[in-house]
Amino acid sequence: DLSTGIIYRRRIATCQNVIPEILRKVSVLKVPNIYLEEESWLNLQERNMAMKTRCLTWTQYASLSEESVFRESLENPDWTDFIQKGRISVTGAGFLNCVLEAFAQSFLKKGVKK
C-alpha cells in the first residue's frame, strides 16, 4: 500500500502431515498434506510485522490459528520483541477431540521452543 507503506502478503503453505500413524487409522486424518493460510503485514516505517495463520485442512472438525507480532524492542532497537498467541479447538471427532487437541498443543509447544 503506497499510502501507508505497509507490505501485505497472503500465502498458502503445504505442510507434511505430522499426526502419528496410530491416529491416522481414522480416515479423515489420513491425508498426506495439511494446508495453512498465512497473512502478514510488514510496516517498515514502524519496524514491525504482524502475522496470522490458520489451518485450512479439517475445518469441519478443528480450528487452529496463530497470531504473531515482531517489533523493535523498547529496551534496545537491535533486539526484537516476539509476541505469539495460538488457539486450538477440535470438535466433531467424538472421543478423539481431547487426544487431538493434546497432540496439537504438544506439537506446537515444541515448535515454539525451537
List pLDDT tens digits, range 9-61. Answer: 999 999 898 877 877 777 777 888 989 999 999 999 899 999 999 989 888 87
Single out the residue of 10, 110, 2, 104 nearest to residue 50, CA to CA.
Answer: 10
| Residue 114 predicted with pLDDT over 70 | no
Residue 96's nearest CA partner among 33, 38, 19 is 19
Is 20 part of a structural domain of the chain?
yes
CB atoms closer than 10 angstroms to residue 62: 18
39 is a domain residue: yes
Q: What share of the chain is helix, strand, coil (3-state, %, to 5)?
A: 20, 45, 35
- Are the C-beta atoms of residues 52 and 69 closer than 8 Å to each other? no
Helix, strand, or coil here: 32?
Answer: coil
Q: What's the one-letter identity of residue 98?
A: C
pLDDT per position as a tens digit, 91-102: 766 766 777 777
Within-domain flag for 28: yes
Residue 13 lies in a domain: yes
For residue 1, tell me if it sits in a domain. Answer: no
Contacts for 85 with CB less than 8 Å, ≥ 6 apart: 66, 67, 68
In a domain, 58, yes or no: yes
Structural domain total, the chain? 1
What pLDDT sits at residue 73? 94
Q: Give 58-87 pLDDT, tens digit per residue.
A: 888 778 888 999 999 999 989 999 998 888
pTM here is 0.72
The whole domain housing 105 covers 6-112
The answer to whether position 10 is within a domain reads yes
Give the pLDDT score at 72.
93
